[in-house]
Amino acid sequence: MQSQRVWLLGFWASPFVQRVKWALKLKGVEYEYIEEDLFDKSSLLLKLNPVQKLVPVLVHNRKPISESILILEYIDEVWKQNPLLPHDPYERAQARFWAKFAEEKVRESTWDALCSRGEEREKAVKSSIEALEKFEEELKLKGTKFFGGETIGFVDLVAGFISYQLPVFEEVGSMKILDSSKFPATFDWIYNFLNHPVIKDDLPAKDLMFDYYAKRSKEISDEKDSCRNA
């Protein structure tokens, strides 16, 4: 690998990889993408991320960086154009807070809803809606197109899964989490986000996502049932 080249190891369905791809494109950074098979991991992935053995992995100056949120911060520090995080320390801390909230409260609860059944799913759906209510309130307070103001920023990239992945989760799981009458600011944000040229030109195919998540959610749900009955 040439020292100044940028490489990204990823998996097509991963929202963590997707946010890194968007960040690189927003910054105008050229990179080489290497698709990984997470069910048959390459020796390259195991070498570059021996601890977690997961994607994404960004390689820059022959040095690997893992964890998507850490990668976003690295990208923002190395390539200064089109900043993702605010300059003001307080606003930067707030952005990190909401990114963490989107990741730990919204994404994890929606994933739990997809990969569970019965009362467990109902509980996860309730948690997802409650988390999205907080997300909605913050968007209303900001009153801007994006969390980053009039341009896409750090929080928007981390929360981007809400725009394209969550509707697939709802369809696969036959559940309702997003409601336009309850979350009007969130739906406006989704519209603005999905219509940004960098975003709309780089989204996984919906039919492929549906098939993949239908299979994965069933596998995980079956594993949970097997553990309960063991």
Half-sphere exposure of 106 (CA within 13 A, CB side): 25
pLDDT category at 224 given cuts 50, 70, 90 is confident
Q: For residue 229, is it within any domain?
A: no
Cβ–Cβ < 8 Å for 38, 88: no
93 and 157 in a single domain? The answer is yes
CATH number, residue 200? 1.20.1050.10
In terms of domains, do 70 and 117 share one? Answer: no
Are 70 and 102 found together in one domain?
no
How many Cβ atoms are within 10 Å of 156's Cβ, its own excluded? Answer: 29
| Same domain? 191 vs 107 | yes
pTM for this model (two decimals): 0.95
pLDDT tens digits along 34-67: 999 999 999 999 999 999 999 999 999 999 999 9
How many domains does the chain fold into? 2
Based on the domain organization, do 72 and 96 belong to the same domain? Answer: no
| Domain housing 196 | 89-213
Percent of the chain past pLDDT 70, that is, above it, reads 97
Distance CA 142, CA 97 (A): 15
Asked whether residue 97 falls in the same domain as residue 58, the answer is no
69 with 135, same domain: the answer is no
Query: Phi/psi of residue 172, each to 5°?
Result: -65, -45
The answer to whether residue 226 is domain-embedded is no
Can you tell me the mean pLDDT for 144-159? 96
